[in-house]
Amino acid sequence: MPPVDMAHVTLRIGDRIILSDVGLTVPAGAFVGMLGPNGAGKSSLIRAILGVVPVAAGRISVFGRPVGRGNHDIGYLPQFPARSAPRLDGRSFIAAALHGERWGLPCDWRPGRHRRHDAMEIDRVLDLVGAMHLARRPIDHLSGGERQRLLLAQALLGRPRLLLLDEPLASLDPHRAREVVALVDTIRRQLGIAVLFSTHDLNPLLGVMDRVLYVGRGAARLGTVDEVVTGPVLSALYGMPVEVIRANGRIFVVADGVVQS
Ligand SMILES: Nc1ncnc2c1ncn2[C@@H]1O[C@H](COP(=O)(O)OP(=O)(O)OP(=O)(O)O)[C@@H](O)[C@H]1O
């Protein structure tokens, strides 16, 4: 069963149609980069897969089951993570997610009931993201990239088979952004999981993602970079002439004279 399968999906928020009659399938183990103009609906689509935003029409299934809150198969890194207490160290930060409201954990989970299991699970995710050295450091002393590692560790709690990462590169410099992309890719391969990765910059994902999903004006296109990142496809999704310029192994999407990514 594919990690995500959508058929004739319409998403409406208030009186705005975010997606209209969209169908797509995220293949098993794929690394999908999701792009689109501001407000196109990337976060809303992720939230619909989480079962938080209801579909107005059509259906979305995750590993063959209809979407629903608390899906153990999904790990989620939100765009604007809840403000965390600065005094927490890295380990406590992960533990807080383990015991707090988190996607995927059984609802009978109680602090202290599974202490040994908790400690092992926290070690496992810290190790996966290469953040054992952050375990005892206060999180307000950490860089943006280091915090992103911990957020990724949180998303990996409970052994999800699908990672939904909403703009994990926001506020990272190009070097750190590439580090985070490489880390996500290594984890994806190691665990054989699928990744849906929302971003405003295509370039750090080049050579890593095997599919790109572009969202715009109520529509979505999923395919390889060569299929989707073209002037005609993006012009239709942006609703204006878009030029795609390739230079030095990078891709620049220019809409209305402004470089988008
Ligand atoms: N809870 C909400 N209530 C009202 N409108 C909302 C809500 N959430 C999202 N929207 C609207 O839905 C549209 C899509 O928003 P969304 O955050 O999904 O876009 P996005 O592609 O992730 O944007 P960005 O790239 O700027 O993060 C926007 O017009 C936004 O204002």
221 and 101 within one domain: no
Q: Are 206 and 251 a contacting pair, CB within 8 Å?
A: yes
Whether residue 108 is predicted with pLDDT greater than 80 in this model: the reply is no
50 and 146 within one domain: no
State pTM to two decimals: 0.90
Q: Is the CB of 75 under 6 A from ligand 1?
A: no
Residue nearest atom 6 in ligand 1 by C-alpha distance: 13
221 and 172 within one domain: yes
The domain of 101 spans 82-159
Q: Is the CB of 43 under 6 A from ligand 1?
A: yes
Report the CATH number at residue 43: 3.40.50.300
Average pLDDT over residues 6-30: 95
Map tokens 């506020």 to a residue.
171
The fraction of the chain above a pLDDT of 70, given in percent, is 91
Dist CA 97 CA 207 (whole Å):
32
Helix (H, G, I), strand (E, B) or coil at 93: helix
Q: Mutation test of ligand 1: which of 10, 18, 20, 53 has the most ligand atoms closer than 8 Å to its C-beta?
A: 18
Q: Is the CB of 37 under 6 A from ligand 1?
A: no
> What pLDDT score was predicted for residue 101?
46
Q: How many C-beta neighbours within 10 Å does residue 179 have?
A: 17
Dist CA 68 CA 50 (whole Å):
6
Residue nearest atom 31 in ligand 1 by C-alpha distance: 39
The answer to whether residue 253 sits within a structural domain is no
The residues, ordered by sequence, that sit 6+ positions from 195 with a Cβ below 8 Å of its Cβ are 30, 31, 32, 162, 163, 165, 184, 185, 188
Give pLDDT tens digits for 93-104. Answer: 898 887 654 444
Give pLDDT tens digits for 46-95. Answer: 999 999 999 999 999 999 999 988 888 999 999 866 566 667 899 988 98
> What pLDDT score was predicted for residue 99?
67
Alpha helices (H) along 75-209: 90-99, 115-128, 144-155, 174-191
